Amino acid sequence: MLLENKVSLITGANKGIGRQIVIEFAKEGSDIVFTDIKRDENTESLIEEVKRLGRNIIFFEADVRDFKRAEKVVEGIVEKFGKIDVLVNNAGINRDRVIWKMSEEEWDVVIDTDLKGAFNYIRAVVPYMRRQNYGRIINISSINGLRGKFGQANYSAAKAGLVGLTKTCAKELGKFGITCNAIAPGMIETDMIKKLPKEVLDEALKETVLGRFGKPKDVAYLAVFLASDRAKHITGEIIKVDGGQYI
């Protein structure tokens, strides 16, 4: 198992990509801690699924925008398990609107969730990872953080910020045995894309050279690799999972 005896924290994991990362990490032997903004039926079903895989699992209700709550979550993990090995900053939202119609609240909530949320949890785990001289940090960015996207000034800015945050953390933390990488998905089949207009989906599909959208597993498999010791010499990288959509 690639993640045997590891303790992993995945934020925003009730559904979608985060949920699949939890499942794949558990299959590879990791004990799991996950967060989301509220506990619901998705939370309960995910806990049961991980337990069936024979792994320990804990859920914390947490808004990633809350700096103090991030500290408390991580303190709870270390109190329970004695360490934290892997952080996956997955939590994210979008509030799409052209910039001349975008409200201050729509800008702030996306930046605070998608970018500040990642900072909050990195800031919370790093003191423990430094002491153990080991850690894996994985940020879920987006190809739209690399290229921009019409109607997504807030989302693209936040995901671009994650790119800079990832590279800076890689430089600052490498000497402590901590790697930091980002995954930049293209269009992935999650509940989020079900809300998009058909013309938007058709345009995105045309952009892919493989002629299909990705699945949450496509992202989760890469996250497993980056969290494992097979990726111990990889840091500061932004890896696209997009079926060639960015090309």
Q: Which residues are catalytic?
A: 155
Q: Which of 202, 240, 96 minimizes the C-alpha distance to 155?
A: 96
Write out the two tokens for 228: 């494992």
Residue 173: what are its φ and ψ, rounded to 5°?
Answer: -105, -10
24 CB-near residues (< 8 Å, 6+ apart)? 217, 220, 221, 223, 224
Q: Which of 67, 241, 100, 86 minimizes the C-alpha distance to 179?
A: 86
Write out the two tokens for 20: 């699949």
- Write out the E strands in 103-161: 135-140
∠ CA 103-67-134, nearest 5°, is 125
What one-character DSSP code corresponds to residue 191? G
**91 vs 216: CA distance, rounded Å:** 14
Token look-up 């989302």 returns 155
